[in-house]
Amino acid sequence: MATPAVAPPPPGVGRIVLGLLLAITTGVVATAGVLSWWVHDTVMDTDRFVEVVEPVATADGTVARIGEVATTRILTELDLEGRIATALAAVDDLVPDGFGGLDDLLGGSLGDLLAPGGTDEFASTLAADLEGRVTDAIDGAVQSPRFRAELVTSVRVSHADLVAMLRAPDTPTGSGDDRGDLVVDLEPLVDVAAEEAVAELDGVVGQVAGQVVDGLQVPPDVSRLVLVRAEQLDPWRALVGGLDRGKWVLLAAGVLLALATVAVVRRWWGLAAVGVAVVVGAGLVGPVLARVQAGLLADVVDPMGRVTTIEVLDAVIAPVGSTVRLIALAGVVLAALGLAWGLGTWAGRADTA
């Protein structure tokens, strides 16, 4: 006659407490594991990062905001009124070559120009007119495919340098400076817009254009935009580095903790508790990233920069959703298996009775 299976003795209080602690720890590890996979596969992977950010970086709104920055910097550096005033210092020599066209353009008269103080007034009027034309030229340039391609290249270079600075702070980078700040080089972007601006000037003022834009150079402090300062990077190095390296370690730790929970409790609810903890852990990823996003935005005071930063962060965070859903599904399956185990145990006892 077969001996009926004997149910294991109920776990003591110590085992129950230990099992619950292990289940909770499994949930915490699930949260860290999702973040680790996201950091490794999206945040620290330049190709993937550019893939998710490019639609935002090349969107009309983003390009327009960058165009505003480029316009301000180019007009500041051109100092059109000052350059025109200098060029007009030799007005007697320049009149035969260029001022007939300008006289018609501005609706003025050479008599007014040559009157006392007329040169300064003319320079101011011409500068205002040219600034409007330059702005229109830059607006057209930043919408061009070439400008957008240069922008994506700048994003790629800056991100590769950011990864290098996070993984190895002492590694020299093309987008870093002597202080260890991370900067994006705007010079290729400014150059594209400046070419349109110079072409516009040349079309309007003819031979005077060469004297107006002669020696135009965009200095490093104008063409390089600081993205992240060294002191802002320091608090993130250890955390990001640990998550970047811990991708597989956290996965293995989560599996081992789940097995340990079931082994300690030796009841169906141990497996169900692990499943619930994993679901909760996956659900906590969103709030954690929201806090991280708020922390990053706290240092962005420029309104235009804040809008762009929010859009970029949203694009970078979006891919984590698929991992969250996968881990949450795994938790649901574990909880369902635990409940099935419990129902099977209850049914077996009912048959025995």
Report yes or no on whether pTM surpasses 0.95: no
Q: Kindly report, residue by residue over 97-155, the tens digit of the pLDDT.
A: 444 444 444 444 444 444 444 556 666 777 777 777 777 777 777 777 877 887 788 78
Indicate the helix (H) or strand (E) that contains 225: strand 224-228
Do the beta carbons of residue 243 and residue 42 sit within 8 Å? Answer: no
Q: Where are the alpha helices (DSSP H) in 39-144?
A: 46-57, 60-78, 80-87, 91-106, 110-114, 118-142
Tokens at 342, concatenated: 């419990």
Kindly report the number of other CB atoms within 10 A of residue 56's CB atom.
18
**C-alpha radius of gyration, the chain, whole number:** 32
- CA dist 148 → 51, 62, 112, 222, 352 (Å): 14, 10, 44, 20, 74
d(CA 306, CA 218): 25
pLDDT reported for residue 96: 47
**What's the full length of the chain, in residues?**
353
Indicate the helix (H) or strand (E) that contains 184: strand 182-185
Q: CB under 8 Å to 318, separation ≥6 — which residues?
A: 52
> Distance from CA of residue 95 to its chain's centroid?
52
Which residue ranges in the chain fall short of pLDDT 50?
Answer: 1-2, 92-117, 178, 206-216
Burial category of 108 from C-beta neighbours within 10 Å (exposed 0-12, middle 13-18, buried 19 and up): middle
Closest CA to 155 of 175, 129, 125: 175
pLDDT reported for residue 201: 56
d(CA 208, CA 212): 6
Helix axes 247-265, 13-38, angle to 10 degrees: 160
d(CA 101, CA 245): 66
d(CA 305, CA 290): 18
pLDDT reported for residue 308: 75
pLDDT reported for residue 194: 61
Burial category of 126 from C-beta neighbours within 10 Å (exposed 0-12, middle 13-18, buried 19 and up): buried
Tokens at 252, concatenated: 């293995």
The residue behind tokens 């409007």 is 132
| Phi-psi domain of 172 (left: phi exceeds 0; alpha: psi -120 through 50; beta: other) | beta
